Chain A
Amino acid sequence: MLKQIEGSFAVAEMVAMCRPNVISAYPITPQTHIVEELSVIVGKGQLDAEFVNVESEFSAASVVLGASAAGARAYTATSSQGLLLMSEVVYCIAGMRLPIVMTCANRAISAPLSIWNDQQDSMALRDAGWIQLHAEDNQEASDLHVQAFKIAEKTSLPVMVCMDGFILTHAFEPVDLPEPKEVDAFLPPFKPTNIVDPRWPRGIGLFADPRFYHETRYILHRAMEKSGKTIKAVSAEFAKSFGRESGGFIKTYNLKDADLVIISMGSVVGTIKDLIDEFAEEGKKVGLLQICSYRPFPRKEIYDALKGKMNIVVLEKSISLGRGGILASDVRWSFPRADKKDRNISSFIAGLGGRNITKDDLRYMVEKVKKEPVELEFLGLNKDLIAKKDL
């Protein structure tokens, strides 16, 4: 049923329909509305779950770790500093192959303190062994959660659903929320196999000496790579069950005839599509390749989709300081050496700490890379501010 609803509430309602047994979270802007709403749903008895209010994100992640290891379907949500505080547990959850689902309400990282959106937080944990799915809008943010639980439990890998803080979490949009029975039909109850239970005593979280550790990381990497199949299959099954496309590896827009392709992920994709429509009216052929699954990274899909596309610009809301665009280097790596040399892959960093990315900014970017490739540029820098000595 179509409902005019805040993004956080749409996610909370969808998570509740996924029937997690244990929810644990610690408040951080802009994640708060999601877990507040879930505490209401649990408190009213509409969801039979334990809601554990903890003293830190570190403990929130640890509680869902323990709950999952004891056989519960477990969920948490966080953002920014909270995700960084969790990071030790985030790695541990993946290493222990616990199918936990977490929402990351993407937000900038201190210092300086900023509560506003970019994607540096989830990027900081891209190598942890979590599947990372990026939502374009609130419909997709909501849809991705039911897919996330299914993917996690099929692959024994944790899934992080990333949605841009404020831009999505606090935006009211019409969202088509399914009926609980439709979700039940799509997502069967969790049937864990490797749990702590006195009936079958076993050790979970044993340490591995150098004879074993190396292989555990290989196995985890292989599982991440293999999970791509499941991500695609679950997305296809979702489309069949719910009648709309959501998730998957990549999506494209006006790509076929494009002589310039923008690659990006998250909510900025909406603005890019608007601009592409404007360009189309002007007779300019610009296309979009949107990344939904950032980890595992859709290397092959990008390569196949961009055959013959020689001009590419990557727009992203995060940076590897001292290195450059993170998504841009992932994209550059997607082309074999022989194929890469003729391709122009430009890299733009934009919208850090909640700076708006306007169509004018994007138009400037497109015009610029049409003239010559750009190794790295921060979009819309205020040069007067940089000249100031106190910033």
Chain B
Amino acid sequence: MNAKAEEFDKVEKKDLFASGHRACGGCGQALAARLVADAAGENTIACVATGCLEVFSSPYPDPAWRIPFLHSLFENAAAVASGVDAAYKALKKGPVNIIAQGGDGSTADIGFQSISGMLERGHNILYVCYDNEAYMNTGVQRSSFTPYGAKTSTTPFGNTTRKKNMPMIAADHGIPYVATAAVDDYRDLQRKVKTALSIEGPKYIHILAPCPLGWAHHGELTVEICRLAKDTGLFPIFEIIDGKMTNVRKIPAKVPVDEYLKVQGRFKHLYKKGVPSKEVAEIQEIANQNIERFNL
């Protein structure tokens, strides 16, 4: 292992995203935000979209951030970060890590356009999506990342559409780096953040961040649920470097989706007296397709 790889493989704990914030117990997003900030280091500006992360980490007068934090609106984190990038170029300041970050709603839906613009224009920005598969901050409404079958407060009988595939959409902008990660694997997540930040240009990292409140699972299961999401094939882990799919995580022992679904209240309605409905078979089919497509 060379020095750079060794450096990238180190788990960082700097508390740049400090404790004492107001996230729920077991919040995947809080964990992810800390891992991202600590991997990025002090020389970083966080441009954060409105949402859970912003609300639980930035109440006046005691924000949890020990790096510069900039928040404006729900749908413009990528555009605001573009402005920071332009300012740094124009003022000949830096280098600095600029990380735009938001949840799945601000990434997949309302902020989709500004992210596409940022990626297309070639800004030197890392965009991090914390994907908890619904609008948790407003009370668990469906987003276009909500998976098939999941119950939310606006899909009370289960979501009828499949999840939007944002990593592939980001990759199709022709950007140099795209990766997926989950909060169960600190080392992998932080290595990807460090890798991304070592590359000039727009980067996109998609992090699975379970939400105990919205997914209706016990807080202590957040990490375990990530493992199940990966081992069922429902959340493929990979990198796309210069357009080439690489470092695809092989599933050591494939797990039926049942095991993932049964620990979450949002899928409870798919089982009547323990008997899986036809939607469960559909979800298994989604997992099978992922396994085939990404060769998991």
The answer to whether A and B come from one shared complex is yes
Q: Which residues of A contact B (CB under 8 A)?
A: 21-22, 24, 48-50, 52-56, 58-59, 62-72, 74, 88-89, 92, 96, 196-198, 200-209, 212
Do B83 and A207 touch across chains, with their CB atoms under 8 A apart? no
Q: In the assembled complex, which residues on chain A have CB atoms less than 8 Å from the CB atom of B88?
A: 70
Please tell me if the beta carbons of B65 and A204 are within 8 angstroms of each other in the complex: no
A227 → B minimal CB distance (Å): 22
CB distance A198 to B58 under 8 Å? no
The stretch of B7-15, B71-79, B142-150, B159-167 in contact with A is B71-79
**How far, in whole Å, are A58 and B76 apart by their CA atoms in the complex?**
8
- The residues of B with any CB-CB pair to A shorter than 8 Å are 42-45, 47, 54-55, 58-61, 63, 65-73, 75-76, 79-91, 93, 96, 113-114, 116-117, 120-121
Q: Give the CA-CA distance A196 to B63 in the complex, in Å.
A: 14
- Which has the most chain A C-beta neighbours within 10 Å: B69, B71, B79, B85? B79
**Closest partner residue, chain B, to A92 (CB atom):** B72
Is B60 a contact partner of A208 (Cβ separation < 8 A)? yes
Which residue among B66, B67, B68 has the maximum number of chain A CB atoms within 10 Å of its CB?
Answer: B68
Ranked 5 nearest A-B pairs via Cβ: A66-B83, A62-B79, A205-B71, A70-B87, A72-B87
In the complex, how many angstroms separate the beta carbon of A157 from the nearest chain B beta carbon? 17
Across chains A and B, the number of contacting residue pairs, with CB separation under 8 Å, is: 167
Contacts of B47 in A (CB 8 A): 66
CB of B72 to closest CB in A, whole Å: 5
Chain B residues lying within 8 Å of A52, measured Cβ to Cβ, are 82-83, 86, 121
Q: Residue on A with the closest CB to B62?
A: A206
Q: Are B59 and A88 neighbours in the complex by a CB distance under 8 Å?
A: no
Asked if B90 and A48 make an inter-chain contact with CB atoms under 8 angstroms apart, the answer reads yes
How far apart are B43's CB and chain A's nearest CB, in angstroms?
5
Extra contacts besides A59-B76, A70-B83, A70-B84 (8): CB < 8 Å: A55-B113, A59-B82, A59-B117, A62-B73, A67-B84, A69-B80, A71-B91, A203-B70
Contact B66 A201 (CB under 8 A): yes
18 contacting pairs across A/B (C-beta < 8 A): A21-B90, A21-B91, A24-B83, A50-B90, A58-B114, A62-B80, A66-B80, A66-B81, A66-B86, A67-B83, A69-B80, A196-B84, A198-B96, A204-B71, A205-B70, A205-B72, A208-B59, A212-B61
| Contact between chains at B68 and A198 (CB < 8 Å) | yes
Alpha-carbon gap, A68 to B91, bound state (A): 11
Q: Which of B42, B44, B67, B87 has the most CB of A within 10 A?
A: B87
Minimum distance in angstroms from B62 CB to a CB of chain A: 9
Cα–Cα, bound, A201→B72 (Å): 17
Which chain B residues border A68 with CB–CB below 8 Å? 83, 87
**Alpha-carbon distance between A69 and B73 when the two chains are bound, in angstroms:** 14
Q: With A198-B67, A203-B58 known to touch, is A62 a contact of B87 (CB < 8 Å)?
A: no
Q: Which of A56, A59, A196, A208 contacts B45 (CB 8 A)?
A: A196
With a cutoff of 8 Å between Cβ atoms, the chain A residues found around residue B96 in the complex are: 198
Task: Name the distance in Å between B73's Cβ and chain A's nearest Cβ.
Answer: 6
The residue from A53, A200, A207 contacting B59, defined by CB atoms under 8 A apart: A207
**Nearest chain B CB to A119 CB, angstrom units:** 26
Contact partners of B87 in chain A: CB under 8 A:
21-22, 50, 66-68, 70-72, 74
**Residues on the A chain within 8 Å of B71, using CB:** 203-207
CB distance from B217 to the nearest CB of A (A): 28
Q: Inside 8 A of A92's CB, which chain B residues have their CB? A: 72-73
CA distance A6 to B53 in the complex (A): 48
Give the residue name and chain of the B residue nearest to A93 (CB): B72
- Would A54 and B117 count as touching, CB distance under 8 A? yes
Shortest beta-carbon distance, B10 to chain A, in Å?
21
Residue in chain A with minimal CB distance to B44: A198
**Of residues B58, B76, B121, which shows the largest number of chain A Cβ atoms within 10 Å of its Cβ?**
B76
For A89, give its contact among B45, B73, B81, B84 (CB under 8 Å). B73
User: How far does the alpha carbon of A55 sit from the alpha carbon of B119 in the complex, in Å?
Assistant: 11
Q: Is the CB of A56 within 8 A of B83?
A: no
Q: Are A66 and B63 in contact (CB under 8 A)?
A: no
Q: Are A207 and B54 in contact (CB under 8 A)?
A: yes
Inter-subunit contact A197/B83 (CB<8 Å): no
A72 touches which one: B60, B67, B91, B120 (CB < 8 A)? B91
* Chain B residues positioned under 8 Å from A55 (CB to CB): 113-114, 116-117, 120
A189–B83 Cα gap in the complex (Å)? 19
